[in-house]
Amino acid sequence: MLMNILIPVAILSVLGFVLALVLGYSADKFKVEKNPKIDELLFVLPGVNCGACGYAGCENYAVNIANSGAPLTLCAVGGPPVAEKIGDIMGVKVSTVDVMVAYVKCNGDCNKSKDKYEYHGLMDCVSASALPGGGAKSCSYGCLGLGTCVKVCDFDAIVIKDGIAIIDENKCTSCGACIKACPKNIIESVPINSRVRVACNSYDSARDAMQNCEVGCIACKKCENTCQFDAIHVNNNLAKIDYAKCTQCNACVEVCPKVTIENILMINKAKRDKTA
Amino acid sequence: MKLFLERMKNGLFTENPLFVQVLATCPALAVSTSMINAIGMGLSSTAVLVCSNILISMLRKFIPDKIRIPSYIVVIAGFVSAIDMIMEAFTPDLYVSLGIYIPLIVVNCVILGRAEAYANKNGIVASMWDGLGMGLGFTLALLVLGFFRELFGAGTLFGIQIMPSFYVPANMMILAPGAFLTLSMIMAFLNYRKLKQGNSSTDIHDVTAVGVGFDNPYNVKYQNREDAE
Amino acid sequence: MNILLIFINAMLVNNVVLSRFLGICSFLGVSKKKDAAIGMGLAVTFVMAMASTGSWLVYKFLLEPNGLDYLKTVAFILVIAALVQFVEMFIKKASPTLYEALGIYLPLISTNCAVLGIALLNVQMELSLFGSLVNSVGAALGYFLAIVLMASIREKLDRVSNIPKSFQGLPITLVTATLMAMSFLGFQGLLK
């Protein structure tokens, strides 16, 4: 009777003891030396794990900063304050980074552009742009307004107003999710301080662009000729601004016949107020 | 008395292990094929929960912090083995129909969860009531699931024919798909009630949540493009 | 029993998630993204193979000769927990890249009902060592199949559909699981 109790107790105790020994020994032998800086870095990083830095989450970025010498200024969500703190931890002086935001290069809303057909289908830009003609909008380069970018934004920064997407720059953290998600590649990462932007993505010829949209770029080159800083050029029927050279003088904004180029603070202030 | 009522209310409704905390879905879906099985599993889990809560609460000052989880598991495994043998001896039919899910009470997240969250921080009596509340909450959830599955899947309740004879039982309800379907309907109903009361039920940070958590932006679109479909 | 029959039974006919209801919590939790699902599936396969070998050996050489069948629950859970802990430490040291891929899921699996359940089933079905290995790997591959399918469906569901408010989150996932379980019922006729 007693043996019936003692034997199982003994066997189980021995099993437990052996396992504990193995675990204890291996915990010591397989100890991974963790760089203490990693914990400090994790503390200052935002912890959103958005991947905008190009690494698989904040811990991965911290590990790479501490061990592999990754650039210190890659955190888009944290921005310059976090970059400075990272610099403090690693003992390196960090020069401030230009804050970037995402911008939808299209002003062709329902009032300004037409539809080729009535679209009743999946509320998804990726699916709609696979259709013939690239979606219901007559301009095949334009924003479809079906909201794929809204869905991927973790920060609630995008809304659809009047059929196009508008990004609230106060909330945008430049994580890049919308840029990757947009099938038209119509969202661009711009410096937040560059107020003058071309709100068009269309490479259509002048005649097609005029037919499709009231505010589409017709490549008339008036902007290029007016600009004194060589900051705007028309290629392939579309004007593009070099934000490094642009001085925000607004000359191109005033001369553009189709009101395609906008200074997001001035001319479209009414629209900005709606989204704030 | 007040503590008892509070713990019971917590376990049965406020923090119901299955419907609110979404724990222990495995045994819940597997054994709710009939009300008898549901009661059997529920009561045996409750017994294990109460006993382990009491013992762990008694030992909480002696178990070192680093090895607390393995110790809890060993305690719970001990009680589960005991219940397993008791059921094999005294309720053989139930033992056969519950099958492998009795030993699996060991890895029932509710039991380990309550040990970690409550029993190692509170006194013996409080832990006992907490275990009882949670266990009965789990039993209640199992009974609800079992009710629908047995009624629609076999036309009976507790083995007594309830549905009229022209009703052909939907066998699928007793099988795997029926389990998932019943649980999803119940959870959708609970979400609906929560939404009606005004709180947002879809927590975007919940690991099991899949949908979007903010207002449908398409409403904005349709107001401005003429015909909403 | 024929080895191939064991494998097909474990993977398809009695699929560990959709038929035996083991491992549901992690199935619902980790299936939001396909990459995570693949990592989880591989980790489960790895753990299950090891855990069932370990528990079979303990049962055959320690418990059965001494008539201690009733201790199998306790013994198995000890072995599984210790083994997973050991493997996690080993992988963390030996191969950090492998750890990145599947190491984070390892603690999640140690208290997974699937691992303990399959270990117990191996004993119940009285399989040989090779038989239980095949059974476990088959079951793990069944889990892998189910979770990757679920993740692919959920990714699409997330982006494209207008799900009613009360169904968003867990309910629609469970409805998806219902449909998957129904389709897996079709495998019942595979084995006579």
**pLDDT tens digit at each of 229 positions of chain B:** 788 888 888 888 888 888 888 888 888 998 998 899 999 999 999 999 999 999 999 998 888 877 777 888 889 999 999 999 999 999 999 999 888 899 988 888 788 888 888 887 888 888 999 899 999 999 999 999 999 999 998 888 887 888 888 888 888 888 889 999 999 999 999 888 888 886 544 433 332 222 232 333 222 222 223 333 3
Residue B142 lies in a domain: yes
pTM: 0.69
pLDDT in tens, A174-218: 888 899 899 999 999 888 878 889 999 999 888 988 888 988 999
> CA A176 → CA A26, A100, B210, C165, distances in Å?
42, 10, 21, 28
Minimal CA separation from A113 to chain B, in Å:
12
Report the run of H or E that residue A262 belongs to, with start and end: strand A261-263
Residue B112 lies in a domain: yes
Residue B89 lies in a domain: yes
- Asked if C157 is an interface residue toward chain B (Cβ–Cβ < 8 A), one would say yes
Beta-carbon contacts of B62 under 8 Å, excluding residues fewer than 6 positions away, are none
**pLDDT given at position C183:** 92
Whether A151 sits inside 8 A of C159 (CB atoms) is: yes
**pLDDT given at position B224:** 29
Report the alpha-carbon distance of residue A73 to residue A116 in Å, rounded: 45
- Asked if A211 is an interface residue toward chain C (Cβ–Cβ < 8 A), one would say no
Residue B63 lies in a domain: yes
Minimal CA separation from C94 to chain B, in Å:
24
- Asked if C188 is an interface residue toward chain B (Cβ–Cβ < 8 A), one would say no
Query: Which residue from A40, A43, A56, A95 is spatially nearest to A72, judged by alpha carbons?
Result: A95
**pLDDT given at position B218:** 29
Minimal CA separation from B61 to chain A, in Å:
21
CB pairs under 8 A between A and C: 52
- All residues of chain B having their beta carbon less than 8 Å from the beta carbon of residue A156 are 214
**pLDDT given at position A245:** 86
Q: Which residue of A has its CA nearest to C35?
A: A56
What does the mean pLDDT of chain A come to?
83
Residue B185 lies in a domain: yes
pLDDT at A276 over 70: no
- C62, C86, C91, best to mutate vs chain A, most A CBs in 10 Å: C86
- Asked if C89 is an interface residue toward chain B (Cβ–Cβ < 8 A), one would say no
Maximum pairwise Cα distance, chain A:
104
Query: Which residue from A227, A225, A222 is spatially nearest to A249, judged by alpha carbons?
Result: A227
> CA C87 → CA C46, C93, C139, distances in Å?
10, 10, 20
Minimal CA separation from A100 to chain B, in Å:
25
pLDDT in tens, A64-105: 888 877 777 777 667 677 888 888 888 877 766 667 889 999
Domain count, chain B: 1
- All residues of chain C having their beta carbon less than 8 Å from the beta carbon of residue A33 are none
Residue C164 tokens, joined: 């009613």
Q: Which residue of C has its CA nearest to A57?
A: C100
- Asked if A26 is an interface residue toward chain C (Cβ–Cβ < 8 A), one would say yes
pLDDT in tens, A102-116: 999 998 888 888 888
Residue B13 lies in a domain: yes
pLDDT at A259 over 70: yes
Backbone angles phi, psi at C18, to 5 degrees: -85, -5
Which residues form the domain of B51?
A: 2-191
**CB-CB contact of A158 with A166 (8 Å):** yes
Q: Which residue of C has its CA nearest to B207?
A: C29
**pLDDT given at position A50:** 67
Residue A267 tokens, joined: 């001319």
Q: How many other CB atoms are there within 10 angstroms of residue A1's CB atom?
A: 5
- Asked if C58 is an interface residue toward chain B (Cβ–Cβ < 8 A), one would say no
pLDDT in tens, C35-87: 878 888 888 898 899 899 999 999 988 888 888 888 888 899 888 888 888 87
Q: Which residue did the predictor score with more confidence, B213 or C127?
A: C127
Classify residue C148 as exposed, middle or buried by CB count within 10 Å of its CB (0-12, 13-18, 19+).
middle
Query: Which residue from C167, A110, C44 is spatially nearest to B187, judged by alpha carbons?
Result: C167
Q: Which residue of B has its CA nearest to C22?
A: B26
Whether B209 sits inside 8 A of C168 (CB atoms) is: yes
- Asked if C181 is an interface residue toward chain B (Cβ–Cβ < 8 A), one would say yes
Amino acid at B101: Y
Residue B14 lies in a domain: yes
- All residues of chain C having their beta carbon less than 8 Å from the beta carbon of residue B216 are 162
pLDDT in tens, C17-26: 998 888 887 8
Whether B224 sits inside 8 A of A120 (CB atoms) is: no
Percent of chain C at pLDDT above 70?
96
Residue A127 tokens, joined: 């699916």
Write b or e for each residue in B150-182: b if 16 or more Cβ atoms lie within 10 A of its Cβ, otherwise e: bbbbbbebeeeeeeeeeeeeeebbbbbbbbbbb
Whether C79 sits inside 8 A of A19 (CB atoms) is: yes
For the ranges A77-91, A254-268, B196-210, C128-142, the lowest mean pLDDT is seen at: B196-210
Whether B225 sits inside 8 A of A110 (CB atoms) is: yes
Whether C185 sits inside 8 A of B177 (CB atoms) is: yes
**CB-CB contact of B162 with B155 (8 Å):** yes
* Torsion of the alpha carbons at B204, B206, B211 and B217, rounded to the nearest 10: -10
pLDDT in tens, A141-152: 999 999 899 988
Q: Which residue of A has its CA nearest to C94?
A: A30
Q: Which residue of A has its CA nearest to B212?
A: A151
Report the alpha-carbon distance of residue C111 to residue C77 in Å, rounded: 8
Report the alpha-carbon distance of residue A45 to residue A79 in Å, rounded: 10
Query: Which residue from A104, A103, A139 is spatially nearest to A217, judged by alpha carbons?
Result: A139
Report the alpha-carbon distance of residue A40 to residue A62 in Å, rounded: 9
Residue B220 lies in a domain: no
The number of residues making up chain A comes to 276
- All residues of chain B having their beta carbon less than 8 Å from the beta carbon of residue A136 are none
pLDDT in tens, A117-140: 888 888 889 888 888 888 888 898
Q: Which residue of C has its CA nearest to B179?
A: C178
Whether C78 sits inside 8 A of B210 (CB atoms) is: no
Report the alpha-carbon distance of residue B117 to residue C175 in Å, rounded: 31
pLDDT band at residue A272 under the 50/70/90 scheme: very low
